[in-house]
Amino acid sequence: MKLGLRLPTYARPGEFSSFETLKNYVAKAEELGVEGFFVIDHLLTSRPAYSTSWHDPLIALSFIGAATKKAVIGPMILVLPFRNPYLLAKQLASLDVYSGGRFVLGAGVGWNPDEFRLLNTPLEKRGAIMDEYLVLLKKLWTEDKITFEGRFFNVRDLVLEPKPLQKPHPPIWIGGGSQPHEILYGAAAKGIDRVLYRVAKFADGWIPHSSSTPEMARQDWEKVKKYATELGRDPYKIQKVYSNFVYIKSPGEGDEEAVKRFSLYSGMNLDYWRNFYLYGTVEELAEKIKNRIRSLEGVDWIVLNPVTYEESQLRKITDELLPLVDNV
């Protein structure tokens, strides 16, 4: 089981927009055993889930790749329907080459209606766009001359370079699953089974939703296994990634300081953090994480999202929290 961090790359002045801060943080984290660094993709401030916007993920990953040596890097997750597939295939292949084959693509369909309207992308077609996108992306990464005829994308005799360093292509992790949507996104979600089928069909790894309860995650995993088996895939070859936002309380620390920190980016209240994110003491959070790991029959990665670049939180994760869950 590997430890990754999803970084607080908020589009805010000060430490959150300082390359020196980012560089020093990832260097220290890698020294402490962190094996992957990931970033969020949002064009706009996406309330109520978030109270901030974020730096561009591909630009951030370029800097992170330059500041690290061995750790994998990737978005978690990149909204594919927002982007031109030919341009993105080239950008991501370039990241893989320049990082020495360390790139992982975390991908998803997105959810913020304002972002879809701004980019003139039909929200209701995002699942179909992503399915076609994944087929095309793999062809762009693996074939010398590409011809593709689809509902949304068409190309003939295209030669696109560079190809990724990793063969046949960088791992593709797909995010999505059951969650308390009405609270987090202000609307009920539909089509979760289609998301899980997409995972079973296309994914090298699956990132269940951060806010999933253990029971939600267990039920989703049963469906992924069923769909993968029907498609002729071994579901246990799909890597599982447990990802969540985290703030570890010190003994005797009150809620006020924690609220001040996580409200920098989160639009959710303290009750939501207690119930669905990772907020509490090391021992409390270890039990939560172990329950999620068991619900998925084990995970390959734990990716935690600290709310600041404070080294004290980093060391609590690497030195105190991870050892309590490492042998589940």
Please give the Cα distance from 311 to 227 (Å, whole number). 42
Please give the Cα distance from 72 to 69 (Å, whole number). 9
Yes or no: say if 167 and 161 are a contact pair by the CB < 8 Å rule: no
Name residues of the chain where pLDDT drops below 50. Answer: 186-188
Which one, of 167, 174, 41, lies nearest residue 93 by Cα?
167
Give the model's pLDDT for residue 203: 99
Cβ-based neighbour number of residue 257 at 10 Å: 11
pTM: 0.94
Backbone angles phi, psi at 155, to 5 degrees: -155, 150
Q: pLDDT tens for residues 57-74?
A: 999 999 999 999 999 999
Give the model's pLDDT for residue 189: 56
Backbone angles phi, psi at 75, to 5 degrees: -80, 150
Please give the Cα distance from 79 to 175 (Å, whole number). 10
Q: pLDDT tens for residues 310-327?
A: 999 999 999 999 999 987
- What kind of fold does domain 2-325 have according to CATH? TIM Barrel (3.20.20)
